[in-house]
Amino acid sequence: MKPIKSNIEFCIGIDISKADFHAALLRTKDKKVLAQKTFANNAAGFKNLHKWLIGKTSASLPVHICMEATGSYGEDVAFFFHDKVTRLSVVNPRAIKAHGDSFLRRCKSDPADARLIADFCLQKQPSQWIAPTPGQQKIKALSRRLTALKKSLNQESNRLKTTSDKEVVKDIKEHLRWISNHINKLEGKLVTLVKEDKTTGQQHALITSIPGFGDKTAAHLLAEIGDVSIYSNARQLAAHAGVTPSIFETGTSSKKRTPMTKAGNAHMRKMLFFPAMTAMLHNPICKAFADRLNEKGKPKIVIIGAVMNKLLHLVFGVLKNQQPFNPNLLRNP
């Protein structure tokens, strides 16, 4: 059920950090910050905030909580409150920063950030956060773990190139073998989990029907997309990944740059890079699109970014229509 805006009498901004979080309670009718307090970022802290809010507002909690998307530090707070208040929103930190910049904000502290988030909540009325299912949480956790392991693999590979000591070289090689084997094991588990679930299994089959996506990449992408129904159109999905073009024109210069915004999910962008390279060769829609951009003299990196954007549009299309990729229906860019 969507929350009724008229029921919201208070906005609360929460600034999250690893050990604690700061909350600022703002009354909507007069835009006055009524109270601020710091709580421990753990189960006891969530319960204390809950009691504090009831005491400051009412038992019905006509409150709109807003917080930044800070990854694992804020997830537990969001899960605790998503069904306890009228509305809870988790927003892109860059949106909060831009809101603060519009006031030429010079003060940077946890209490000030909490007040800024509360004001953003009041002014922008961000949408309701949709909690992921346990299955979605599981595959996302596995995907993020694999990302961390691959980063470690790259770091160890770089260390191997700069080390001459035989004992250290031997130890690094053993560690590299362990990481590689563990990555293969976890990636197999991730793909299996995705395919065994009825919903994600069907979605996985649809995404892999698009030339450019393999089993592993599709599984990782689904882990980051989550519930596709929260996106109204393909542009919203592309914006979530930060692959939408950013127009840059300045003064009387005829030079124009259209890089991607990168104001979104960096994990999704990383996953799309190699599929885009493959799609430029083997996906008829993406190949024709890339060829047209190349004829216009666009730099290769810009073309790859545009193809990443195109791929996400194709992903949204097959998931939304529940039909596999058909290039004959998509000949126009």
Min mean pLDDT across 108-122, 233-247, 297-311 is at 233-247
Distances (CA, A) of 81 to 85, 131, 218, 259: 6, 10, 31, 37
Q: What is the pLDDT, as a whole number, of residue 330?
A: 65
Residues forming CATH 3.30.420.40 domain(s) in the chain: 5-124
Q: Output 154-162 pairs: Cβ under 8 A, ≥24 positions apart.
A: none
Q: Quick check: 2 pLDDT over 90?
A: no
How high does pLDDT run on average in the chain? Answer: 89
Q: What is the pLDDT, as a whole number, of residue 281?
A: 95
**Dist CA 202 CA 217 (whole Å):** 15
Q: What is the pLDDT, as a whole number, of residue 264?
A: 74
Q: What is the pLDDT, as a whole number, of residue 88?
A: 95
**Dist CA 140 CA 83 (whole Å):** 22
Dihedral over Cα of 43, 49, 55, 60: its sign = negative
Q: Quick check: 289 pLDDT over 90?
A: yes
pLDDT digits (tens, 9 = 90+) for 165-189: 999 999 999 999 999 999 999 999 9
pLDDT digits (tens, 9 = 90+) for 57-114: 999 999 999 999 877 788 899 999 999 999 999 998 888 888 888 877 777 788 899 9
Q: What is the pLDDT, as a whole number, of residue 48?
A: 96
Q: What is the pLDDT, as a whole number, of residue 124?
A: 92
* Over residues 30-54, mean pLDDT: 95
Q: Quick check: 1 pLDDT over 50?
A: no
Confidence of residue 210 (pLDDT cuts 50, 70, 90): very high
Confidence of residue 310 (pLDDT cuts 50, 70, 90): very high
Q: What does the buried/exposed string (b/e) look like for 266-292 if buried means 16 or more CB atoms within 10 Å of the residue's CB?
A: ebbbebbeebbebbbeebebbbebbee
Strands of the chain (E only): list them: 10-16, 20-27, 32-40, 63-68, 87-91
* Over residues 292-313, mean pLDDT: 94
Topology of domain 5-124, per CATH? Answer: Nucleotidyltransferase; domain 5 (3.30.420)
| CA nearest neighbour of 206 among 224, 185, 228 | 228
| CA nearest neighbour of 310 among 248, 260, 257, 251 | 260
